[in-house]
Amino acid sequence: MQAFKPSLLSFLFSLSTPAFSEIERGEVIYKQLCFNCHGVNLDGGIGPSLIDSYWKNGDSYDAIYRSIAKGTTGTEMIAYELVYPEKDLRSLTDFIIGKQEGNRETLRSTYPRDYFKGKRLHPDLFDSIESTSQKKLPENFYYVERMFDGVLRGQSKLFIKSPGKYRLNINGKGRTSIWVNGKEVHYSNDKKPKDTHFDKEFELSSGTHDLEILHEEPTAHSMRFGVRLQKLNGRHWMLTGKSLEGSVPKVVRSGESAKVIRKWIEGLPPRTLLLLLPNKVLLAYDSTSGKIVKGWESAFINQTPSLDSRSQKQSEVKGKELQGIAKTILEGTRFNLLHYETEGDSVKIATLVDGTPKSFRVSPEGGNSYKLTF
């Protein structure tokens, strides 16, 4: 949301508008103001998307209302409790909540293994012991730290728009019990006979539903457990994944040092390295062909993480495209990228070309160009 107050006229209009339902009133406010930063379709712009899975400041009703009312420090999101009455802010919150779909309000709790040894996983069992850790996961899918040694309990809300029959697609090792609205819909244990396992289809109406995932697996470098919620003959949502860590939604701009970004951009080869130089020149280097395929000046990258809900809104390059920038840097037929590193204002890239090691350096030149050093 943009850091300005509406005119006195529009503010008085907002107070005198005839009564709407709460959600309709929230939509009116959104279209008057919020779309400037969060997009006409709530899919983001200057501000973050309000319909994808990643919610840095929380996605519960109270958390969304608080962000609107109190603002967000360090951003252009002001405290709108200074502009609109509480009733309007709650209508706006209702409107945003009504646009959610998929897994939300995701709480991960972990427990010691010993207590569960020889016992079948069940929610009541977890209620009888204190967890060793609890964390709200802004990505809204489940993951654990590397070499995790314990038992996972996940509790969240499923926001469903399309009613119908659903099922869970599950892979990995260990034992798992999954509950929807207080009923067990999946049970598996790779140390028990398969005739004790079950995986039920279940009906979900439009609205909000309770989801609980209980899981234990052998300690490993990373969690091998995967769960996907699938609407029969419809779309799906991943319920497990990897921490986004530093790959959160953000704008990547040039700085004093060169940067290398590896994000899929529509229209570029999938193994492209994006080289962002201090003079704001951005070069797309295709590591599978040894060519610079595109370039931009005054450039930055609107980076989005790899979430299911962002699959229709990829990371984007912003800037003025440079003409005649395409260039073959390395001649050959077989390319195998070895490594790359930044050194001050330059990027050094090493690769195998037809089995022979080659390396080169890309550095800024002037205000809108670059130079190569071999």
Read off the pLDDT of residues 237-260 as tens digits, 9 standing for 90 and up: 999 987 765 555 667 889 999 999
The residue to which tokens 């330059």 are assigned:
346
Confidence of residue 267 (pLDDT cuts 50, 70, 90): confident
- What is the average per-residue pLDDT within 266-295? 92
Count how many domains the chain has.
3
Residue 307 clears pLDDT 80, i.e. is over it: no
With a cut of 60, say whether residue 180 has pLDDT above it: yes
Domain match, 23 and 122 both = no
Give yes or no: residues 118 and 225 share one domain: yes
Q: Are residues 151 and 213 in the same domain?
A: yes
Q: Which percentage of the chain shows pLDDT scores above 90?
A: 69
Domain hosting residue 303, numbered range: 250-373
- Quick one: pLDDT at residue 61? 95
State the amino acid at position 148 in one-letter form: F
What's the CATH code of the domain at 116?
2.60.120.260
Q: Is residue 120 part of a domain?
A: yes
**What is the rounded distance in angstroms from the CA atom of residue 14 to the CA atom of residue 3?**
18
Per-residue pLDDT reduced to its tens digit, 65-117: 999 999 988 788 999 999 999 999 999 999 999 999 999 999 999 999 999 99
Longest dimension (CA), the chain: 74
Let me know: does 115 contact 126? Beta carbons within 8 Å: no
Q: What percent of the chain has pLDDT over 70?
A: 90
Range with lowest mean pLDDT among 68-82, 289-303, 307-321: 307-321
Q: Last residue of a domain, which of 187, 212, 238?
A: 238
pLDDT of residue 246: 52
Asked which of 68-77, 115-124, 342-351 is least confident by mean pLDDT, the reply is: 68-77
Strand-pairing partners, residue 104, are: 157
Among 191, 208, 238, the domain boundary falls at 238
